[in-house]
């Protein structure tokens, strides 16, 4: 009876020991699982941090590249805009120059007609009533022609007693003069004209050589255009 109880006690101890071992093994396994999980979490955090760092680096590089491209495109735009503005101004200037050239060409072709009107005006001496009527009609046409020239910006030059300027005048004759100093214009042989401040036609002039012995050779006779335009001529000389 006692032996049987002893055997039961030993079996109980073995069972308790087995249970304890089982619990310990379970605890160890659980601890190991927790450690493994924590290790995995740390690894995941490290991986995520590395990925985030790489992503930031890539984005920074891409941003820098985009900024450079933006600056390049901006520079190209500014250059193209400046080139277009210069082109537009050049086109406008060329059109204005072409317009002036065409107007100048047309007006230059009309100026000889004005010269003929002025020569005829000097030479005609109407005496009869009929001649005077014809002369007044003739002068009316001349005034209309001159008025058109004025409206187009044409103005005559004032040259007599002025300093000779090759930019404005063309010297046809030179002769000594007791009245005028050297290189002073003493006579206008053909009237010069301005167009909007630019030379439309150079004036043909006679220039003084200053005081000196008179030339024995007489200059070729030329029709003299009146120096000042009187009240019958609506073009006013420039001051």
Question: Taking the alpha carbons of 142, 224, 116, 124 in that order, is the dihedral positive or negative?
Answer: positive
**For residue 152, pLDDT beyond 60:** yes
By the 8 A CB rule, do 122 and 226 touch?
yes
Query: Which of 32-41, 162-171, 204-213 is the least confident region?
Result: 32-41
* pLDDT the model gives residue 100: 81
**Looking at the domain covering 116-208, what would its CATH class be?**
mainly beta
Q: What's the rounded mean pLDDT across residues 94-104?
A: 85
Query: Which of 3-7, 39-43, 44-48, 217-221 is the least confident region?
Result: 217-221
**For residue 25, pLDDT beyond 70:** no
* pLDDT the model gives residue 140: 85
* pLDDT the model gives residue 174: 92
Other beta carbons within 10 angstroms of residue 229's beta carbon come to 16
Q: What's the rounded mean pLDDT across residues 67-75?
A: 89
Strands 169-175 and 193-195: unpaired
Report the alpha-carbon distance of residue 64 to residue 12 in Å, rounded: 77
Residue 87: which residues within 8 A CB-CB, separation 6 or more?
none
């Amino acid at each position: 009876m006692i032996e049987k109880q002893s055997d039961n006690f030993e079996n109980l101890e073995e069972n308790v020991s087995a249970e304890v071992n089982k619990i310990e093994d379970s605890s160890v396994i659980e601890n190991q699982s927790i450690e493994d999980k924590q290790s995995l979490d740390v690894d995941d955090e490290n991986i995520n941090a590395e990925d985030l760092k790489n992503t930031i680096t890539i984005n920074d590089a891409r941003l820098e590249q985009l900024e450079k491209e933006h600056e390049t495109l901006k520079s190209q735009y500014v250059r193209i805009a400046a080139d277009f503005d210069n082109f537009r101004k050049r086109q406008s200037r060329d059109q204005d120059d072409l317009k002036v050239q065409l107007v100048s060409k047309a007006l230059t072709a009309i100026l000889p007609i004005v010269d003929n009107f002025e020569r005829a005006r000097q030479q005609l001496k109407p005496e009869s009533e009929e001649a005077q009527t014809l002369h007044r009609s003739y002068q009316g046409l001349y005034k209309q022609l001159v008025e058109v020239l004025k409206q187009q910006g044409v103005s005559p030059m004032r040259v007599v007693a002025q300093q000779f300027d090759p930019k404005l005048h063309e010297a046809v004759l030179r002769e000594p003069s007791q009245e005028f100093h050297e290189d002073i214009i003493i006579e206008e042989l053909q009237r010069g004209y301005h167009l909007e401040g630019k030379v439309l036609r150079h004036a043909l002039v006679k220039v003084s050589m200053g005081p000196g012995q008179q030339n024995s050779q007489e200059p070729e006779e030329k029709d003299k255009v009146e120096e000042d335009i009187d009240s019958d001529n609506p073009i006013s000389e420039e001051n």
